[in-house]
Chains A and B, each alone.
Chain A
Amino acid sequence: MSAVLNPPILTKPVQRSRSHGANVLRRLVRNPVAMTAAAVIALLVLVAILAPWIMPADPFATSMFKRLRPIGTPGFPLGTDELGRDMLSRLMLGGRLSLFMGIAPVLMAFVIGGGIGILAGYAGGRVNTVVMRCIDVLYAFPSVLLAIALSGALGAGITNALISLTVVFVPQIARIAESVTTQVRRSDYVDAARASGAPAFTIVRRHVLGNVVGPIFVYSTSLISVSMILASGLSFLGLGVKPPQPEWGLMLNTLRTAIYSQPWIAALPGALIFVTSVSFNMLADGLRSAMEVKS
């Protein structure tokens, strides 16, 4: 017999504590290294998005006379490439594809791999074993090799490169997702939720997801720099982006012959990949430390 419920007994509004997400953000913002990295990334993304409107010259305009002009040439602040095209404009526009190829595969792998891992982790038992064994087969390849194998078989092109990279990252994210979900699944509060008669989907949605997304997300952000390097590596090899589309990795390839005449121009696209990659790594590290401390 339940005791009679009184009418709402709150006389004052409920004091709300800061949520976990808000705490993480707060700690992240106070980390100078992470914030610098974030600023650099924001700048690069902004330039990439606005590139078509802020480019000084046409990135596709070739000129046999203006080939490999050095940095500082009037009209071409960063020089020209081996076909006479303006480096600055190509670098700006190239950022679009390079950043996209860095972030998109990780995003897709986050959704797909995370989904697979969480499902396998919560289901447990035979389902878990079967799914994770299949994942293990993919995981048994070194990432570079797998990316190249898939790209090589599928052929060049952005879509194919996207597919291969996503396939490379799905197993890695799925493993982390499964491991974290299995841990959470064993905790008492999930048992309590089951004991209250909740269906599995509700439990996953309300109890598991919130506790699991954090670590998976942090791991995924650390993969972005790897993705950028792999994607540009694929373009470097002739898979992935096709000329004359500007993309930093592809530019590195086509400029290889310029190493001897204009070495600094040849190194420019790689420098940008490097800076972006380091920034993403710093940001990922900062995110990880922000999440580690239990406030």
Chain B
Amino acid sequence: MSISNITPAALADPRDLGGPRQPLLRVQHLQKHFPLKRKGLALRGPRPAVRAVDDVSFDIRKGETLGVVGESGCGKSTTARLLMQLIQQDRGELVFDGQTVGSRALPLREFRRQTQMVFQDSYSSLNPRMTIEDSVAFGPTVHGVSARVALNRAHDLLARVGLDPARFAGRYPHELSGGQRQRVNIARALALEPRLVILDEAVSALDKSVEAQVLNLLEDLKRDFGLTYLFISHDLHVVRYVSDRVLVMYLGQVVEVGPAEQVFDAPRHPYTRALLQSMPSTDPLQRTTEAPLSGDPPNPIDPPAGCRFHTRCAFAQPVCGRQMPAFVEPAPGHGVACLRWQPESGYEPTPDFPAMPAPTPAVPLALGTLPDIFPEAHHG
């Protein structure tokens, strides 16, 4: 279940160029490798590199919340920073509402007015020497808004994120709690009136109760301001709750994309399947007796040949170690990068593969089942 539908406000934005069918952001063949120092004295030869993002392509549709999940080191954060152009990609391009980012039609500065980011660490993303209102008002002032108007906007936004400006505007970051700081970060991101907001693990560092409040806030803001979200997280429950579509990354590549319901209920990629099976259930009758994923995540410096997941895949066949799977769509809107779903790859589908066991739903316990394990609970 997802909480938000495509908001009409997002489509009625005066800055909208291509209409509802055109993706807000089209990411094409993004690549970023981080070169490492050569071992020993070698002065020639190829340099080892961390292949953080390797040929990543996807679309972000207007008004949706696209969730991005994956283990640490899969390249989620690097992708986020590439999207914000905080680091330059080696290859690939971004197309925002039909216009290439960095081109004459859409210079970088203009793109940055329309795309903003909320970082994970709420403390280090605020300048410790600046008051809250100055931090929030900074963005607009850079784009020519007068200081007075910018401050007004800052106060307004602070009120909208639930912080009373009279009490909070003049404070410094260290005087606020983690949840309050994250609200400030959201306000700061909204100060430039963006259309796309990238949330990079924005709620991961918060307590669960605070997390719930902030998620509700994000939903309200999305509706009021007509925003589109890219929601990056390692917390599968949260991603399921907020996302319309979900994108799964593994070792710098996209392995599966699709509507949240479909990806969570009927995952097609073995990695997604394993990931979902590793979500612990609150039902004591559904116990995990063996680890769904074996082995350690391989080294991003030296990824395995062929399909990168084949060393840990329960369904791997020899062909998986030789051929890199292409991204195909076995069902419309639901894409997978796995040889099983590629008809001419040489992969022999086995009976147990297509039958995906339904992942354990988070169903509240029916009282009737309790006596089986707690005989003394008969009087429940």
Binding site for B on A (CB under 8 A): 1-3, 5-6, 8-17, 19-20, 187-189, 191-199, 202, 206-207, 210-211, 294-295
> Lowest 9 CB-CB distances: which A-B pairs, in order?
A197-B112, A196-B139, A188-B125, A16-B170, A210-B129, A198-B142, A2-B193, A12-B166, A188-B124
CA separation between A8 and B149, bound complex, in Å? Answer: 9
- B256 interfacial contact with A, CB 8 Å: no
Look across to chain B and name the residue whose beta carbon is closest to the beta carbon of A13. Answer: B166
Residues in A neighbouring B109, C-beta threshold 8 A? 197
- B177 interfacial contact with A, CB 8 Å: no
A130 to chain B: closest CB distance in Å? 19
Q: How many residues of B contact A (CB 8 A)?
A: 52
15 A–B contacts from the bound complex (CB under 8 Å): A3-B225, A6-B156, A8-B152, A9-B159, A9-B165, A10-B166, A15-B171, A17-B171, A187-B124, A189-B124, A189-B127, A192-B185, A197-B109, A206-B138, A210-B129
Contacts A17-B131, A198-B138 hold; do A1 and B14 have CB atoms under 8 A apart? yes
Contact B108 A197 (CB under 8 A): yes
Contact B138 A8 (CB under 8 A): no
Residues in B neighbouring A11, C-beta threshold 8 A? 166
Binding site for A on B (CB under 8 A): 9-10, 12-14, 81, 84, 86, 108-109, 112-113, 116-117, 119, 121, 124-131, 133, 135, 138-139, 142-143, 152-153, 155-156, 159-160, 165-167, 169-172, 174-175, 185, 188, 192-193, 224-226
Contacts A5-B153, A14-B166, A17-B175 hold; do A196 and B13 have CB atoms under 8 A apart? no
Residue B130 contacts which of A194, A196, A199, A210 (CB distance < 8 angstroms)? A210
CA separation between A195 and B12, bound complex, in Å? Answer: 25
Task: Name A's interface SS.
Answer: loop
Contact B129 A211 (CB under 8 A): yes
CA separation between A122 and B16, bound complex, in Å? Answer: 36
CA separation between A295 and B174, bound complex, in Å? Answer: 8
Contact B113 A197 (CB under 8 A): yes
- Which of A12, A188, A192, A194 has the most CB atoms of chain B within a 10 A radius of its CB? A192
Residue A195 contacts which of B112, B156, B171 (CB distance < 8 angstroms)? B112
Residues in A neighbouring B170, C-beta threshold 8 A? 14-17
Look across to chain B and name the residue whose beta carbon is closest to the beta carbon of A207. Answer: B127
Contact B224 A196 (CB under 8 A): no
Contact A195 B225 (CB under 8 A): no
Residue B166 contacts which of A3, A15, A187, A189 (CB distance < 8 angstroms)? A15
Residue B142 contacts which of A8, A187, A189, A202 (CB distance < 8 angstroms)? A202
Residues in A neighbouring B143, C-beta threshold 8 A? 197
Residues in B neighbouring A19, C-beta threshold 8 A? 129, 172
Residue A192 contacts which of B12, B113, B125, B193 (CB distance < 8 angstroms)? B125
Look across to chain A and name the residue whose beta carbon is closest to the beta carbon of B116. Answer: A195
CA separation between A75 and B142, bound complex, in Å? Answer: 67
CA separation between A3 and B117, bound complex, in Å? Answer: 19
Known pairs A1-B14, A197-B139 / 6 extra A-B pairs, C-beta < 8 Å: A20-B128, A187-B124, A192-B125, A195-B112, A198-B138, A211-B129
Contact A189 B153 (CB under 8 A): no
